[in-house]
């Protein structure tokens, strides 16, 4: 999502790196560009101005730290300020002593309240809770039907009646008490902040059910008005947190910064897709590092940890290095990767995407076809692909519903990957030896580079996902 802001800051910092010490006016020029980047990312004008001022004073204070070069100082200051705006801590939900814990959702029309009410319910369910949904959006035609259909798919009950929203909400709480549900999520109609009647209505709902938490649902694509919207809802309802939706688009999401900085309440959850499971707790620090182009490394690692069987991966890595990696292992790895979720989500989290790389370009169906090809092979073929001759190829193509060309391409790519993997380890050893044979002064820069590559390898997962592999999948 924040790609363009990342690019933008990347440009600015790229220029910074090539300069020596910065004067006050140079810092100010650079921060002007940061402000423009923020505005283009839909950060509210006032918020962007404050941001600029705060970073500027941070930079001036930072002058004292002679250890950092100017680029590092500005990056540090921008990063610190971003984190401080997005709000250091994530929200921890404490459950009411006397059940149920009541949550009220509010927001403009079309931001995704109903969908996210269900996603939130699913989230609570996965925490071992028994949620009840209240359909208090009696405004939009079929809103309650939508809620019921979605809730049914994950087996969560819905309470609603054709009544007035305030009454429906209070009766829903009563229903939860009687049926022993311990969490209640109340969906409400979308409303404009300038519609005083509707704003009063949600206030009445809030007064009637006395929610423990009130969440504002915010569309990540919102423009300059996000700050005013959040402020109006906060004034009326006293918000506890926000849910940021439609983060799977390419909106730069300045709305998050704006809303957060104006109401000062955390963004608790983020919705990252149309499936009910595309919903996660929001990590402000990670988002800040993502904005700065460092990729959402932490989220990626976390996902990988859940999905990958560690032993399995170790075994495959060993095989890769020793050159014994077979198509069978390749298939296993592909299936493990799939467990992490849609490929474009995963790639979107990676740092250092090459310019112009668009995660949504990854052709997921290509993976499915590759899987079909491999599963159409005999186990002998999978273990020693070299035996796959012309007639085997055409059999495999028929069996997998693909073409001989595709089978050949896959075999070629597999060979290539194997070669690269073997190569990625061996030359390093070689260089190292070479380096140690040479005199110390010979090539310091390449040694530094080499060291950092090794560091990447040690520090883990991310360096080992080679983007070029995904490239070969989609070509």
Quick one: which segment of 9-17, 86-94, 136-144, 260-268 binds other proteins (CB under 8 A)? 136-144
**Of 41, 184, 270, 396, the one binding other proteins by CB under 8 A:** 41
Which CB, 62 or 226, lies closer to other proteins?
226
Strands, E assignment, 107-180: 131-136, 158-159
Which CB, 228 or 313, lies closer to other proteins?
228
- Find how far residue 27's CA is from the centre of its chain: 31
Q: Is 271 helix (H, G, I), strand (E, B) or coil?
A: strand
Q: How far is the CB of 246 from other proteins (least distance, A)?
A: 7
**Of 16, 85, 86, 143, the one binding other proteins by CB under 8 A:** 143
Quick one: which segment of 79-87, 145-153, 288-296, 462-470 binds other proteins (CB under 8 A)? 145-153
Tell me if 349 contacts other proteins by CB under 8 A: no
Q: Determine contact, residues 198/191, Cβ cutoff 8 Å.
A: yes
Which CB, 111 or 297, lies closer to other proteins?
111
Tell me if 164 contacts other proteins by CB under 8 A: no
Tell me if 194 contacts other proteins by CB under 8 A: yes
Q: How many beta carbons lie within 10 A of that of residue 340, not counting itself? A: 17
Which CB, 366 or 428, lies closer to other proteins?
366
Of the candidates 287, 252, 251, the residue with the CA atom closest to the CA atom of residue 269: 287
Residues contacting residue 299 through CB under 8 Å, at least 6 positions apart: 280, 283, 286, 349
Q: How far is the CB of 194 from other proteins (least distance, A)?
A: 5
**Of 60, 96, 142, 167, the one binding other proteins by CB under 8 A:** 142
Tell me if 248 contacts other proteins by CB under 8 A: yes
Q: How far apart are CA 186 and CA 386, in angstroms?
A: 61
Tell me if 229 contacts other proteins by CB under 8 A: yes
**Of 10, 36, 50, 204, the one binding other proteins by CB under 8 A:** 36
Q: Determine contact, residues 216/243, Cβ cutoff 8 Å.
A: yes
Which CB, 129 or 366, lies closer to other proteins?
366
Residues contacting residue 13 through CB under 8 Å, at least 6 positions apart: 71, 74, 75
Cα–Cα distances (Å) from 245 to 93, 189, 320, in that order, read 19, 16, 40
Tell me if 337 contacts other proteins by CB under 8 A: no
Which CB, 115 or 299, lies closer to other proteins?
115
Residues contacting residue 78 through CB under 8 Å, at least 6 positions apart: 9, 34, 55, 292
**Of 88, 180, 223, 471, the one binding other proteins by CB under 8 A:** 223
Tell me if 138 contacts other proteins by CB under 8 A: no
97-116 residues near other proteins, rule: CB under 8 A: 108-112
Q: How far is the CB of 233 from other proteins (least distance, A)?
A: 12
Binding residues for other proteins, how many (CB under 8 A)? 46
Residues contacting residue 470 through CB under 8 Å, at least 6 positions apart: 343, 347, 362
Quick one: which segment of 72-80, 87-95, 133-141, 310-318 binds other proteins (CB under 8 A)? 133-141
Sheet hosting strand 213-219, strand order edge to edge = 158-159, 131-136, 183-188, 101-106, 213-219, 241-245, 267-271, 279-281
Cis omega (within 30 of 0) for bond into 125: no
Q: How many beta carbons lie within 10 A of that of residue 20, not counting itself? A: 6
Q: How far is the CB of 347 from other proteins (least distance, A)?
A: 12
Q: Determine contact, residues 232/193, Cβ cutoff 8 Å.
A: yes
Residues belonging to the chain:
475
Tell me if 267 contacts other proteins by CB under 8 A: no
| Binding footprint of other proteins on the chain (CB under 8 A) | 36, 39-42, 45, 108-112, 139-143, 145-146, 148-150, 192-194, 219, 221-226, 228-229, 246, 248-252, 254-255, 274, 358, 360-361, 364
């Amino acid at each position: 999502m924040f790609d363009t802001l990342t690019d933008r800051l990347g440009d600015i910092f790229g220029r910074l790196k090539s300069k020596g010490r910065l004067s006050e006016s140079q810092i100010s020029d650079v921060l002007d560009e940061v402000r423009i980047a923020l505005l283009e990312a839909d950060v509210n004008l006032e918020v962007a101005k404050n941001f600029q001022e705060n970073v500027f004073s941070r930079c001036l204070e930072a002058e004292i730290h002679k250890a950092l070069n100017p680029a590092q100082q500005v990056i540090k200051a921008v990063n610190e300020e971003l984190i401080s705006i997005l709000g250091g801590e994530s929200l921890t939900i404490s459950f009411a002593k006397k059940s149920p814990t009541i949550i009220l959702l509010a927001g403009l029309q079309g931001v995704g309240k109903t969908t996210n009410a269900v996603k939130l319910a699913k989230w609570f369910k996965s925490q071992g809770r028994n949620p009840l949904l209240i359909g208090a959006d009696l405004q939009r035609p079929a809103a309650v039907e939508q809620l019921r259909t979605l809730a049914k798919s994950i087996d969560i009950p819905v309470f609603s009646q054709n009544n007035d929203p305030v009454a429906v909400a209070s009766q829903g709480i009563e229903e939860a008490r009687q049926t022993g549900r311990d969490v209640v999520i109340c969906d409400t109609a979308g409303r404009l902040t300038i519609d005083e009647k509707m704003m009063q209505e949600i206030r009445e709902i809030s007064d009637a059910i006395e929610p423990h938490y009130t969440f504002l649902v915010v569309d990540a694509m919102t423009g300059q008005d996000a700050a005013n919207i959040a402020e109006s809802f906060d004034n009326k309802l006293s918000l506890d947190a926000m849910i940021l939706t439609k983060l799977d688009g390419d909106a730069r999401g300045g709305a998050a910064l704006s809303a957060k900085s104006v109401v000062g309440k955390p963004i608790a959850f983020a919705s990252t897709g149309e499936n009910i499971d595309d919903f996660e707790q929001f990590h402000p620090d990670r988002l800040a590092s993502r904005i700065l182009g460092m990729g959402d490394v932490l989220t990626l690692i976390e996902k990988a940890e859940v999905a990958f069987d560690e032993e399995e991966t170790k075994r495959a890595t060993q095989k890769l290095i020793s050159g014994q990696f077979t198509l069978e292992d390749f298939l296993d790895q592909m299936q493990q990767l799939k467990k992490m979720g849609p490929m474009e989500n995963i790639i979107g989290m990676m740092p250092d995407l090459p310019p112009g790389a668009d995660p949504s370009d990854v052709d997921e169906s290509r993976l499915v076809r590759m899987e079909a090809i491999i599963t159409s092979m005999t186990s002998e073929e999978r273990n020693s692909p070299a035996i796959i001759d012309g007639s085997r190829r055409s059999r495999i193509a028929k069996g997998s519903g693909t073409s001989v060309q595709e089978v050949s391409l896959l075999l070629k790519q597999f060979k290539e990957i194997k070669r690269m993997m073997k190569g990625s380890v061996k030359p390093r050893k070689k260089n190292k030896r070479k380096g140690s044979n040479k005199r110390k002064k010979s090539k310091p820069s390449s040694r530094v580079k080499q060291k950092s590559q090794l560091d990447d390898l040690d520090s883990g997962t991310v360096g080992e996902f080679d983007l070029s592999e995904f490239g070969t999948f989609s070509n």
